[in-house]
Amino acid sequence: MKFGILLDHQYERGDDLGRRTGELVELTQHVRDLGFDSLFGIHHYLSSLSTPQPLPLLSRLIEHTGEMQIGTGILILPLGHPVHWAEEIATIDQMSGGRFVLGVGSGYREDEFQSFGIERRTRVSRMNESLEVMRKLWSGEPVHHRGKHFELDGVQCSVLPAQEGGPEVWVGANGPIGIKRIAGQGLPWLAPSNVRRNWAVGNLTDYRQHLREAGHDETGMTFPIHRDLCVADSFEEAFEIAGEPVRRSYDEYVQYGMDYFETQWEGIKHKALFFGSPDDITAKIQDFSDAGYNHFVFRVQWLGLPIERSMEILERFAREVMPRFRA
């Protein structure tokens, strides 16, 4: 069982990003010393919130991460060229000594695609072809590729990842068609944070069935999931601490057409959040673990919540919950 942290590096416009980066350095050191296994950054362009880009941010944090894995959760792959991504990711994998995990997704925000001059309807095929090209480049051999979106003629990647063949790739998807496609590729599916328990568990069951049908062996595979985490004496106290910041953070998605977070808030509140006492959180983790999830990536930062509160949540989890899952 592994436990990681998703850095929520999204801030109000005009916030002091130098100070915020310093907070993230301190948080990273704290996460490392508490025994967490991984640390991930998020990715968006042109956001309503000030959102530092994940690869430079993670590069800044590498020296403070110890032996933790670092990665993106997620990188919107269709918004860049695979040659660019291949060399950027190979560089950060080298800098981290081969500890990078590439979490990718196809994206959803129309303004991002319009601003990059990319048709949103092509995002899935661009993502899949980008991964194909990147793996060819990471082989170190000359790449000849003629695809739907990209053409390469005998070029070689100038920087190869420390991990032979490239880092592990996790792929995010929020629907059964995407989940089945990921299983067919034999890649780990990164389950989202905001879905209810039965959806997350049911779709993992389907994903694993699709894996087997496609002839993939799941032995040793990672089954990751994002969750929002607040540990307190009770659900009510946890919600008193972080409920409003969580709601504010989810409300930011509504302007991008995701009114689900507004209309389904009560369901998210009671059936998606990992909020509650140490015993409550332990039971939730065990339930999801029994279903097959084995790498939990927690978010403990939200709009308006002081960083000190985030650290208190992490400390209590590490002290009262994590030991129950460490052999």
At 261 the pLDDT is 74
Tell me the pLDDT band of 271, cut-offs 50, 70 and 90.
confident
Categorise residue 41: left if φ over 0, alpha if ψ from -120 to 50, beta otherwise.
Answer: beta
CA distances from 241 to 234, 236, 301, 302, 308 (A): 11, 9, 12, 11, 12
DSSP letters, 184-207, are: HHTPPEEB-SSS-HHHHHHHHHHH
Rg of the chain over all Cα atoms, to the nearest angstrom = 19
Q: Give pLDDT, residue 296.
A: 98
Of 288 and 255, the structure prediction assigns the larger pLDDT to: 288
Q: Which amino acid is at 202?
A: G
What is the pLDDT confidence band of residue 260, given thresholds at 50, 70 and 90? low
Give 10-39 pLDDT, tens digit per residue. 999 999 999 999 999 999 999 999 999 999
227, β-bridge pairs: 298
**pTM attached to this predicted model:** 0.96
Q: What is the pLDDT of residue 237?
A: 98
